[in-house]
Each structure stands twice: as C-alpha cells, then as structure tokens.
Structure 1
Amino acid sequence: MLNQGIGSWAARRARMSPERVATVHDGDEYTYREVAARATRLAHVLAAGGIGRGDRVAYLGPNHPTFLEALFATGLLGAVFVPLNTRLAAPELAYILRDSGATALVWSPRLATVVERLTPPPFQLRLGDDYEAALSIVEPEPIDLPVDPGETCMLMYTSGTTGRPKGVMLTHANVTWNTVNLLVDVDLASTEVTLVSAPMFHVAALGQTVLPTFCKGGTAILVSAFDPDETLELIERHRVTFLFGVPAMFLAVARSPRWAEADLSSVRSAICGGAPVPEPLIATYRQRGVTFLQGYGLTEAAPGATFLRVGDSPAKAGSAGTAAFFTDVRLAGPDGAPVPPHEPGEVLIEGPNVMAGYWGLPEETAAAFTADGWLHTGDVAIADDEGYLYIRDRIKDLIISGGENIYPAEVEDVIYQHPAVAECAVIGVPDERWGEVGRAVVVLRAGKTLDPAALLAFLDGKIARYKIPKTVVFAESLPRTASGKVLKQRLRDRH
C-alpha cells in the first residue's frame, strides 16, 4: 500500500481477518470487513465535500464505531483527525475549531444543543440517519493515496498552563510506535475482548486500548458512557479480557453493589492510569484476582512513556514502572543533569512516539524540548535503585481530577469575569472519589458580597463542568512573591 498511515489500518486488518468482529456497541456488531468498507465510504463522502490532504476533520461525539470510521477515513485522505472533548462548553469547542482551522465536523445529535451555539465548519455531517444516508449512496471503492508516517495524523487538544488549549500534533508514526510499545508491554492476543468505557477523545483510551486491539484483530466493546454496574455486567456478558480506566472509574466499580459477586475471571489485563493510583485500590483489585498494569504518560507522548508490567506489579505497587520498549525516559535536575536514585527530578522523554510539536505554536514547541531533543513533561518523579519510577509531584499546577486535566489558570480566567471578584487562585485538594478536585480561593472587591453557589453557577456553561471547582473559600488576600506571583503552595497549606 502507498498509505503507510493509520488510515490504512482498516483495510490491512480486513484482509487478514475480514469476518472477525471489530467493534460492538449497544448490541450492534461490525466486522473488520464492514469497518473498512464504512471508513472507505466516509472517505469518499468527505472528499466529495472538499476535504483533502492536510485538512482538519473534527469529530464530536461519545464512544461509537463512527469515531473509528472517521479516524480511518480521515487518514485515507491524508487529512488530520481532531477529536473533540464532549465535556467542553461551547466557547471552548469554538476556540478549538477556530485554532485547528477545521473544515469539517462530524457530530452526534446528542450534542445538538452545543453544536447549535457553534459557527460550523464548511462541511458538516450529523451522525444517525444523515450519516447512514450519506454512506449509502457511495461505493466503497478502494482509496490508496500516499501517506507518509511522518505526516500529522491527529490533533489532540490539551489545555495549556496559560489557559490556552494547545493542539498536540501526533504523527502516524507516533501513534504506530505507541501501539507497538503497548503490544510489547501487555502482550495482547488476537482473541482480546477489550472494554472501552473511557472516552476515546482522550489519547489514553484510544492509544492504549482501542488501536492496539484493532491492530491485533481483537474485539472492542465501545461504551458511550461509563457506568460502574454496567461495567461489571459487560465484563461477564462479553467475557472481557482487557480494560482501561482512571483510578476514579476503578474505585466506582469496586463500590458497586455487584462487586463482591461479579465474575471477573475472564480479565487478563487491567490498565490503570491518568492519575496516581492509590495503593488501597490496588489491593482491592488484587483480592479479586485482578492485577493492575500501571503506566505513566501524557498526550505529547501518544501517550505511553513508562509501564509497570504484570510480573512487577506486586513488588512495585504504586510505581509507574520503567520506560516502554522503544521509548527512553530519564530524570533531570534543574540544570539538566541526571539525578541519582531516590532524588527528585523532572521526567524527560525521548522516542518515536513523542509528538511533532504544538499546532501553530513554534515557540511553545521549542520550549517543550531540551536542546538535545528530550520532551519536558513538567512532572517530578524519583527512581529506585532498579530504575522504577514513582511520580511524586508536578512542576506545573496541574490538577488531575478523575483522569481529567484541569489547568488552574484557565479556570481562574473565567472566575475573574465575575464582577465581584478582585483576585482568585485555584488549587487542587484531595478528594476520596476523584483523587483531586479544584478549590477556588477568592478575594472579593471592596463592598461586594458573593455566595459560593452563585459563583459556581456563574461558571456553568463557560467551562466544562469537570473544571468547575467543587468548593469556594474567601480570603482577605492572596500570598504573593515580591514579583507578584501567587504562592500556591502556601494556599494549599492554608486551605
């Protein structure tokens, strides 16, 4: 094939195992032959709508087989896939559509109220009857345009510390090498049955479960919305062998009334990531015969950087493991020099899975790498004597709540829009369910009063709900350095 990118995967898999079931969703099954044909039909529809090489195609919808069809169809044309976070508010989505320059939007009717508030790209395709009708009137004539592995495959937007979302450019090679790394680490089989309830618009679910399963010819059970009870029921019904979740998801499953009696005997591998995994949670699953395969990564690494493999998990519980096979990781001090074992250092990453850069942001891209090409993560870890990493802290003030990244500066910018607010700072505080949640520390303008609930209501609709702080506390002032920077550690100590 001329196409060496992700767009060719559907056809490649279909020629190997055409009648094997690729995806299951709400009882509907699609074979690899059908996925390849539907992706090809969609590529023809997009091409007829003027979409070509390098154009950005956005997708807005929950987990569904059409997500993969759009990814593969976009790749067949040499275009760029832009998965949108369904939890974002309309202004946030509008910014991403503008910034990416998306010329096409494939969207779910579930998000109609949000889409109505957007300025649509030139080409739109509504999922459901409109989508099926569009596919039905074209033939799945093979498309084999030349696509190089170094071309951009997708833009995955992740909020920046300044509050400005950044499009992470992941090439076809980045995604492919991440898949290879995962297959080495987890040793998936062609008979794998993978439960996908974490959203595929996040790189972890897509890169660590869906695409490796597809590559091996297994079956992906796609779930539109996570539900703890349903998770246990699906594991039993489909004899699920592989699943991924963030700690908050696994905690919710363990608290289900069905937990004690659920049949988990089919599960061979369970990956937990997206946030530090509490050791009591690890023990809870081990008691049921399920061992977590923990990992560490970030969108910029497509996402896998390190992995704690099944043989190491009992002895190294709580560790993020060691570097993936084709990826290198090192810890560096402020001067860039290596740090000895048990001393904190910034995690630096290098490898073929590391991003090409940030979309349209050359200065930010340059700042993200060391002079010799290693990716700065902004995360601090220590390594033990055997080289196993333990993530300890974050250089940036990132809050990870239930696996979702929350950047305080972005939330603070919206809080400042309230006329009663003089100053504010958002910090992360521990939460039993989500691991960490936001708390807003607010200084009011002279003579103004404000109810905490009213402030939280003010934020609703302006930013995604998961970014809205769970609590508000008022203060007379914020502690600052001589240069005016808020001392957030002091705020955490106080609040």
Structure 2
Amino acid sequence: MRNNGIGSWTARRARMSPDRVAVVHGDESLTYRQLHERATRVAHVLTGLGVAGGDRVAYLGPNEPAFLETLFGTGLLGGIFVPLNTRLAPPELAYILEDSGTSVLVHAPTHAEHAASLRDKVPHVLDHEAYERLVADAPVDPTDETVDQDDVAVIMYTSGTTGRPKGAALSHANVHWNTMNLLIDVDLAGDEVTLVNAPMFHVAALNQTVLPTLLKGGTVVLDSFDPARTLSTIARYGVTYLFGVPAMFQAVAATAEWPAADLSSVRTMICGGAPVPEKVITTYQERGLVFLQGYGLTESSPSALFLRAAESDRVGSAGTPCFFTDVRVIDSDGEDTLPGEPGEVILHGPNVMTGYWGKPDATAAVLSPDGWLRTGDVAVVDEDGFLYIRDRIKDVIISGGENIYPAEVEDVLHKHPKVADCAVIGMADEKWGEVGRAIVVAREPVAPEELMAFLDGHIARYKIPKSVVFADTLPRTASGKLLKSALRKDYGANA
C-alpha cells in the first residue's frame, strides 16, 4: 500500500479479521470487511465532489458509524478530517468551517437545522439521505493514494475556553504514536469491547478508545452518554474497556442502578479530560475496578502522562510520561523544578501536533523550535517522578503572595457528601489581591459555613474560599472541562 496513514487501517484490518465485528450502534453492526467497504465507497463519493489529498472534510453529528466511515474514507484519499463539536452554535461552527477551509460537510439528521444555516460556508453539504444514497451507488474499487505519515490526518479544534478555538493539526504519525502509547499503557486485547459514549469529536474518545480498539481488532460500541444506560450497555455487550471524563463517572456512580450494576466484564476504565477528584477514583476502586487516569491535550493527540494499573494506589497522580513522550515541569526560567515545587508542564514526542492550522504565531507561542509544547498547566513532581496536575496557569489564584490552585480546593469539596459538583474561581480583594469563591451544586441543602468548616483542616486556611454561592449546574465544555470564564462572568465580581 502507498497509503501509510490511518485511512489504510480498515483495509489492513479487513485482510486480517474481515468477519470480526468492528462497530456496533444500536441494532446495527459492521464487520471489518463491511466497514472497509463503506469507507471505500465514501472515498469515491468524496472524489466525485472534488476532494483530493489535503482537502478538508467535516462531520457534524453524534457517535455513529457514518462518523467513522467519513473519517476513514477521507483518510483513504489523503484528505483531512475535521470533527465538529455538536454542542456549538451555528456561528461557532461557521468559524471552524471557514478557518479550516472545509470543502465537504457531512451531517447527521440530528443536526439538519444547524447544517442548513451553514450551506453558504462550505461548497458541499451532505445530509443523511444524500450520504446514504451516494454511498449505496458508489463503487467499491480499491483506492491507493499516496499518504505519508507526516501528512495532516485530522484537525481537532480546541475547546475555545479562552477566545476562538484553534485547530490542532494532527499528522498520521501523531495519531500512530499516540495509539502506540495507549496500547502500551492499557495493554488492550484483540477481543476488547469498548464502550464509546464520550463524543468522538473529543480527542480522548477518538484517539484513546476508538482507534486503538480498531487497530487491535476489537469492537467499538457507539452511543451517546446516559448514566443509567451506560450501566445497562456494559452488561448487555460485555463491555471490557471505556473512557469518560470525571463528570461522566460521577453521574454513573450517582444513579440508582449503580449499587447492583453488573460490571464483571469490565477490565479497564480510564478517566481524563479534566482534573479527577480523588472521590471519583476511590468510588470505582471500591467496586474492585481497575480505574486509571491520564493527562493529555488535544495538541498532544492526547497522550502525555498515564497512571498505570500497577500504580493505581497513587490516587490523585496523573502518572509518569507515556512511553514515546517526554515530559518536564519547569519554572519561569525554564529549569526543571524540584520535587514538590509547582511549575509548568511541557511535552515532547512524536505525538505532539504539527501546529495550529493556519496560525503560525499561535503555534510559535506554544511550540518551541525543537518541538517542546507548552501546556499552560501547573503540576508538581514527587520524589519518584509521578506528576500531580494542579491547575491551569491562568486559573491560579494569587492571594497575599500565595498561590491557590482551584483544582486542589475543588478536590476536597467533592468529598463532602452534600456536594454534587463544585468549582472555585478568584475574586478581587482589597486586602489580599485575590480570594477564592466556591460555586457549589448541592445534593441537599447545606450552609456555606458547613462547607468552610469541612475544608478547615483538610487544606491550609489561606486556600479556603472566602465565600460560597450555589448553582443548579456548572457550565462545562463537551470534553468535561469547567468553563471558568463563564463562571467568572456569572459569579465573579462583575456578575
């Protein structure tokens, strides 16, 4: 094959295990032979629309087979796949389509209204009916376009928690080496049954669950997230592996079905996308489950750190660097920090992005000439080399000259039985410069004084928020990150 990219993966799997089930979605299933045939047909459809190597093809819709067919079909041509966040508003989607220069938009029926408003932003828009009709009529003749490992495979847009989202351009090599990192860390088997109910437009769902499972010849079960249905799906399909962000795992453990749920098939659960509260980890470990966490970014495809099964007793640590990724924690002078001293996490490895699509200045701001990626995240390293992620640099509260890391305070608040969710932001203060404010989603009525008293003794007093306010829900990105900018707007000094 001249195609050395991820688009060739279905062909390689189809010749090894053609009759294994690759994808399950509701009552529909596709073998590897069928998935490759569908991807090949999609490639011919895209060719008919003028798509060639380097052209961008976007997908808007939930987790379903058409997402993967479009991904692999685009890859067969050497095109670039652009997965779109289904939670974005039409103006936000329009920006991404224009920024990426997308030529074809494929969308699911669930997003027909949004897609209709985007028709003037992209030359070709395929709804579900047109997509299925064209795929059915397309030939299945093999394609063999030249695709190199260094070619861009996917543009994944960052959450945009600060300003406009930026497209992280991930090469085929980036995805390949990330997959190798994951397979070493998790040791997936060929009979894996992977539940994918985190959105595949999120880098962790796609690159940490779907692609490694398909590379190994396992089965991916596609679904949207529903806490109770997660448990019934695990039992129904004998799910062995799944990923979720902390908020998802919290919601599953809070269901009425949780105490009696059959989780006997599960080998591994991995959590990431946001700092993982210790309470979430211990809740699953108490059920005898292998609950692992890692740390990464869209810009690193995303693998960077992983806490492996043998080390899972180090609750709260994001682990040590993945096999093919180097990680440092540096001070403001660029020197490695001492154990226990906070610093910025920087990364280097073949999984680090090629850059931000069309944004050389933004790329240069985070990616050094020798390939080190600045993450903007604060961590400390212990004596054994395990990293503990503290917070985003921009979210650190500086109070009376002392740094307060909101994630550390949030982690303790999560342990209070009456707290369902929480966030901590900084508030301007005449005396201290800044002080903390906790925004709490309560399971049942609780006084602010009770929460303050609970924190006292668990963390230093200067870290205890000076005020507590209550909310019904907290705003999060689709990848589970708290939208601190929205919280500051709604609950900060200018609220």
**Unmatched segments (≥5 aa) in structure 1:** 409-426, 435-455, 479-494
TM-aligned CA deviation for residue 211 of structure 1: 0.3
User: 1:112, CA displacement in angstroms?
Assistant: 1.3
State the match for 1:362 in structure 2: 360
- Between the aligned partners of 1:428 and 1:242, the Cα distance in structure 2 is 37
Matched to 1:3, the amino acid is: N
Q: Residues of 2 paired with 1:165 and 1:31: CA distance?
A: 36
Partner Cα distance (2:275, 2:440) in 1:
13
In structure 2, what is the equivalent of residue 97 of structure 1?
97
Equivalent position of 1:270 in the other structure = 269
Partner of 1:123: 124
Give yes or no for contact 2:112–2:127 (8 Å, CA) kept in 1. Answer: no
- In 2: Cα distance, 1:194 partner to 1:270 partner: 10
Alignment of 1:241-390 (within 5 A): 241-314=240-313, 316-390=314-388
C-alpha separation in 1, matches of 2:225 and 2:242: 12
Equivalence for 1:394: 392
The CA distance in 2 between the partners of 1:428 and 1:27, in whole Å, is 47
User: Does residue 75 in structure 1 map to residue 75 in structure 2?
Assistant: yes
SS across alignment from 1:260: helix
> Is the 8 Å Cα contact of residues 105 and 120 (structure 1) preserved in structure 2?
no
Label 1:2 to 1:428 Cα distance change in 2 as closer, same or farther (>3 A). farther
Shift of the 286–474 alpha-carbon distance from structure 1 to 2, 3 Å rule, reads: closer
Inter-partner Cα distance in structure 1 for 2:234 and 2:289: 13
Contact 1:161/1:396, CA 8 A, preserved across alignment: no
The answer to whether the 8 Å contact 2:98/2:121 transfers is no
The 3 A distance-change label for structure 1 pair 159 and 272 is closer
Which deviates the most, 226-235 or 364-373?
A: 364-373
Distance in 1, Cα, partners of 2:113 & 2:302: 31
Q: Which amino acid aligns with 1:355?
A: M
Q: CA deviation at 1:393?
A: 1.6
| Aligned AA (2:394) | K
Distance 1:70-1:336 versus aligned 2 partners, 3 A rule: same
Secondary structure (helix, strand or coil) at the match of 1:73 reads helix
Post-superposition Cα deviations, 1:69-99, rounded to whole Å, max 9, x if no partner, equal: 1111111111110000000001100000111
Inter-partner Cα distance in structure 2 for 1:474 and 1:177: 42
Cα distance, 1:278 vs. partner?
Answer: 1.2
1:152 aligns with 2:129: no
Partners of 2:298 and 2:442 in 1: how far apart?
24
Counterpart CA distance in 2 for 1:106 and 1:428 is 43
CA distance in 1, matches of 2:131, 2:154: 22
Q: Residues 51 and 103 of structure 1 are in contact (CA less than 8 Å); yes or no, is this contact kept in structure 2?
A: yes
In structure 1, what is the Cα distance between the partners aligned to 2:46 and 2:395? 40
- TM-score normalised by the chain length of structure 2: 0.82
Alpha-carbon RMSD: 2.8
How many percent of aligned residue pairs carry the same amino acid? 58
Measure, in 2, the Cα distance between the counterparts of 1:373 and 1:81. Answer: 24
Long gaps (5+) in structure 2: 397-405, 411-422, 426-435, 444-472
SS of match in other structure, 2:2 = coil
User: 3-state SS of the aligned residue for 1:103?
Assistant: strand
List structure 1 runs of 4+ shifted beyond 6 angstroms: 398-401
Report deviation, 1:123. Answer: 1.5
Residue 116 of structure 1, CA deviation: 2.1
Per-residue CA deviation, residues 95-136 of structure 1 (Å, 9 max, x unaligned), is 001111101000011111211222241122112x32221111
Instruction: Quote how far apart the aligned CAs of 1:351 are.
Output: 0.2
How far apart in 1 are the matches of 2:385 and 2:116? 51
Partner of 2:222 in structure 1? Answer: 222
1:143-182 alignment runs, 5 A limit: 143-160=143-160, 163-182=163-182
